[in-house]
């Protein structure tokens, strides 16, 4: 299955502000289709330590670097190709699963707070990795790996569905260009925390999703809008949306529970 997914100008990611993934938080960035690879392969070649985040997620990473808590930054080494889209997604999902399983054992008894952010095809990769989209022919996440996932953000998700509990407030009502498997959707719904939503005034805690999906009105892929054929809207998340997403991530990591 092929699709003309986004090609954006990508700014290189700056250096990590934590030298080890065992400090506090880890951001794993998953770029969109056609965006440049990174450099500085690590963890048996699964991730890059410089660049490779894409033009959208690199903005989020830079905002996270200004936070008070230490974070280790890495980007997923996967094809991000258009010509073999589904093969690229599957390869990325397998690599992400293996990286998460490794992180779950790399720090001994300590589990880092893992944040995963993906734009366009990157969101599709994350969805399949966390939601069991490779079953029964690929690797699966360990229980510890699932536990350490603290926050997930999708931007311009091509599998966007308007009624999902994890959609950001005021999300549009259209549908993405692809349909997410119902079993994957069910698995994604299990990534949740007990506490309060950002801005809540309720006296009582509740279960809330660890996932937040951002879809801009008129986006080519998450709203199936052919008028955005130049991907202007699809590549617009680097502006105010990344500030909003960073605020949500900070809240989930430090104040939600």
Per residue in 193-227, pLDDT tens? 999 999 999 999 999 999 999 999 999 999 999 99
Q: Of all helices (H) and strands (E), which one includes residue 237?
A: none
**How many Cβ atoms from other residues are within 10 Å of residue 182's Cβ?**
8
Residue 4 has pLDDT above 80, yes or no: no
Q: Which of 48, 55, 43 is nearest to 12 (CA)?
A: 55
Q: Give the pLDDT mean for 68-90.
A: 97
What's the pLDDT score for residue 256?
A: 84
Sign of CA dihedral 83, 87, 91, 93: positive
Q: In whole angstroms, what is the distance from residue 215 CA to residue 229 CA? A: 16
Tell me, what DSSP letter sits at residue 167?
A: B
Q: Residue 244 — very low, low, confident or very high, per pLDDT cuts 50/70/90?
A: very high
Q: Residue 2 — very low, low, confident or very high, per pLDDT cuts 50/70/90?
A: very low
What's the pLDDT score for residue 13?
A: 41
Residue 10 has pLDDT above 90, yes or no: no
Q: Which residues are CB-contacts of 78 (< 8 A; sequence separation ≥ 6)?
A: 30, 88, 91, 92, 95, 96, 125
Pairing of strands 47-51, 71-76: antiparallel
What's the pLDDT score for residue 102?
A: 98
Per residue in 23-49, pLDDT tens? 999 999 999 999 999 999 999 999 999
Residue reference for tokens 């350490």: 148
Per residue in 163-187, pLDDT tens? 999 999 999 999 999 999 999 999 9
Percent of the chain with pLDDT over 70: 93
Residue 91 has pLDDT above 90, yes or no: yes
Q: Which residues are CB-contacts of 65 (< 8 A; sequence separation ≥ 6)?
A: 14, 17, 71, 73
Per residue in 96-145, pLDDT tens? 999 999 999 999 999 999 999 999 999 999 999 999 999 998 999 999 99
- Does residue 8 or residue 184 have the better pLDDT? 184
Q: Phi/psi class of residue 132: alpha, beta or left (left: φ > 0; alpha: ψ in -120 to 50)?
A: left
Q: Give the pLDDT mean for 10-17.
A: 45
In whole angstroms, how far apart are CA 232 and each of 128, 223, 225, 235, 236? 26, 13, 11, 5, 6
What's the pLDDT score for residue 15?
A: 41
In whole angstroms, how far apart are CA 42 and each of 20, 74, 77? 12, 9, 10
Residue 146 has pLDDT above 90, yes or no: yes
Residue 5 has pLDDT above 70, yes or no: no
Instruction: Please work out, in degrees rounded to the nearest 5, the angle formed at the alpha carbon of residue 242 by the alpha carbons of 124 and 180.
Output: 20
């Amino acid at each position: 299955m092929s699709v003309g997914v986004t090609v954006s100008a990508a700014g290189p990611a700056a250096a990590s502000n934590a030298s080890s993934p065992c400090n506090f938080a880890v951001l794993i960035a998953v770029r969109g289709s056609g965006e440049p690879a990174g450099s500085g392969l690590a963890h048996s070649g699964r991730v890059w330590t410089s660049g490779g985040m894409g033009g959208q997620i690199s903005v989020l990473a830079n905002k996270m670097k200004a936070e008070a808590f230490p974070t280790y930054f890495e980007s997923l080494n996967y094809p991000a190709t258009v010509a073999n889209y589904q093969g690229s997604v599957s390869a990325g999902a397998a690599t992400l699963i293996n990286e998460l399983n490794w992180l779950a054992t790399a720090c001994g008894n300590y589990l880092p707070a893992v944040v995963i952010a993906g734009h366009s095809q990157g969101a599709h990769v994350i969805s399949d990795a966390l939601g069991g989209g490779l079953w029964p022919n690929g690797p699966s996440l360990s229980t510890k790996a699932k536990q350490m996932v603290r926050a997930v953000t999708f931007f311009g998700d091509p599998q966007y569905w308007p009624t999902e509990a994890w959609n950001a407030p005021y999300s549009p009502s259209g549908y993405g260009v692809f349909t997410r498997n119902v079993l994957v959707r069910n698995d994604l719904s299990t990534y949740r925390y007990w506490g309060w939503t950002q801005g809540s005034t309720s006296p009582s805690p509740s279960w809330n999703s660890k996932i937040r999906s951002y879809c801009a009105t008129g986006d080519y892929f998450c709203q199936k809008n052919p008028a955005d054929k130049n991907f202007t809207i699809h590549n617009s998340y680097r502006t105010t949306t990344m500030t909003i997403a960073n605020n949500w991530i900070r809240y989930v990591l430090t104040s939600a529970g």
